[in-house]
Amino acid sequence: MKKVLLMGAFLMSALTIQAQTADEVIEKYIAARGGADKLKGVKSVRMETSTSLMGNDIKSVSTIVAGKGMRSDATVMGQTITQAFDGTKGWMVNPLAGSNDPQEIPAEMSKSLADQLDLTGPIVDYKAKGNKVEMLGKEAVDGKDTYKLQLTRPDGTVITHFINTTSYLDHKVTSKTKVNGQEVEGEVYFDDYRAVDGVKFPFLNEMSNPQFGRMKIKVEKIEVNPTVDEAIFKMPAKK
């Protein structure tokens, strides 16, 4: 009986240490990004990016107001593709698909846009957001040691953060979501962190997508808390 009790106490202690370790890493992660007060003070962001995809240069402007809406306008081959979320539903205009009329987008795609309205990210205040975090130990990524934290959202979406053990900033983030009933995995690498109004942002993102392969996205400019006319998030009437 004593052995059983001791084993139970040992397991409870191990679990407590693991939870503390995850929270400790998260605390340092938040501090590295600028601190909780700075992060929560970001109410809106406007970002200009450039990338090359299948031989095409793409310029994009994305605007997000926390908890309210988001919109991204990308210029491809002289045409502008718009994706937006108005706080309730997502929509897009894609002239490359043969129409200039706005169309509502599927719920799963709309959800991915809605997730962007959390400008602090899923780790900050993760418990209050209903997320669960598990420390999976350390793992070397591109020769760099990282802490591997797995976050699970209430809807089952799994996001794994690989946090640099020196800088305590994201080196890589992977995700598993369902699109059209199928599980889709994606990964993003982050580099060239710079402070904008006291908050660290990665100015170089490398994404891996099963549809497009790998592509590098360079951030040209970031504005923190710009004035935004929220009417831009509303789906316009069809012409």
8-19 mean pLDDT? 45
Would you list the DSSP string of 194-211? EEETTEEEEEEEEEEETT
3-state secondary structure of 18: helix
Q: Where are the alpha helices (DSSP H) in the chain?
A: 2-33, 36-40, 107-114
Domains of the chain: 2-233 (2.50.20.10)
Which pLDDT belongs to residue 19? 40
Angle at 234 between CA 230 and CA 235, to 5 degrees: 160
Q: Which of 148, 153, 199, 154 is CA-nearest to residue 25?
A: 148
Which pLDDT belongs to residue 84? 97
pTM check: above 0.75: yes
Tens of pLDDT, residue by residue over 167-219, are 999 999 999 876 666 777 889 999 999 999 999 999 999 987 666 667 899 99
Q: Which of 16, 3, 15, 41 is CA-nearest to residue 198?
A: 41
Tens of pLDDT, residue by residue over 25-60, are 999 999 999 999 999 999 999 999 999 877 778 999
Q: Which of 206, 184, 205 is CA-nearest to residue 193?
A: 205
